[in-house]
Amino acid sequence: MLSVLRSELFKMTTTRATKVILGFAVVLPIVIYVLTLIFAFDGGVMESPAVVNIASVAPLVALLLGVVGVMCATQEYSQGTIRITLVATPHRVRVYVAKVLTTLTIAVVATAVLLVFTMLSSVVILNARDVQFELIGNDGRVVISFFFLTAVLSVFGLSLGLIFKSGPGAISAVLLWPTIAEGMVFGLLSAVTGDNYFRWAPIQNGFQLVSEYIMEDQNSWTVSALILCGFVAVFVFAGASLFTKRDA
């Protein structure tokens, strides 16, 4: 099992596409964050706690890591290597578990690198302005939620990749559903029924996990996490059963 995991990780680190997306997922948010931090000092006063600003890039990071998850599956189909993968390890559950663990490992490491960089740059920039960087209030929970969100969405991406088999289709789904389609579907539901269905939009609930404060009309952290996980679980199940059963 460990050998299959090693092989899957190696596959992900030896293609340019994954490296580029991973680079975007880590470097782009750092650049955005540092710029935000520099301009956040309006008249010498920080508008909001540093970690809140870090968390604001979480949805972007999570979606890009979702794309990395997609590629863990679709690169194999587009390049034909899936046949060799399954010939080398006919026990498909093993390959599936290895792919999930690979995706999770990449998501966690990328998030950790990102957080360390952003926090270090916070310390440097804030110190230069004689401000102390410290974790306050819900900061700890926000950081944990950041890891949670990127991990869940990367597995969401992997599952869509296994379902679609084609990169463009799965990447569209992973990017367009949270940013456009989900809002439209739940907006329509709300308009038709007159109730506020936005509250149940799964990926939006996921994005809420990383906010410092929870509004009154929003779900609690636990409820949001459950909604997100329930939604993603459907795709995880579909992806796993298709992958382990269908002809390769």
Residues 6+ apart with CB under 8 A from 193: none
User: 190, 196 in Cβ contact below 8 A?
Assistant: yes
For position 7 contacting other proteins by CB under 8 A, the verdict is: yes
Token pair 């410290």 is at which residue? 134
Site string for other proteins, 208-247 (x = CB under 8 A): -------------------------------------x-x
**Residue whose CB is less far from other proteins, 3 or 220:** 3
C-alpha distances out from residue 75 to 25, 71, 89, 105, 107, Å: 18, 5, 17, 18, 18
Site string for other proteins, 11-50 (x = CB under 8 A): x--xxxx---------------------------------
**Residue whose CB is less far from other proteins, 75 or 122:** 75
For position 165 contacting other proteins by CB under 8 A, the verdict is: no
Number of residues that bind other proteins (CB under 8 A): 26
Token pair 């809420």 is at which residue? 208
C-alpha distances out from residue 32 to 28, 37, 78, Å: 6, 9, 33
For position 132 contacting other proteins by CB under 8 A, the verdict is: no
For position 68 contacting other proteins by CB under 8 A, the verdict is: no
DSSP 42: E
Nearest of 98, 54, 57, 55 to residue 76 by alpha carbon? 98
Task: Show contacts with other proteins in window 73-112 (CB under 8 A).
Answer: 75, 79-81, 83-91
For other proteins, the binding residues (CB under 8 A) are 3-4, 6-7, 10-11, 14-17, 75, 79-81, 83-91, 245, 247-248
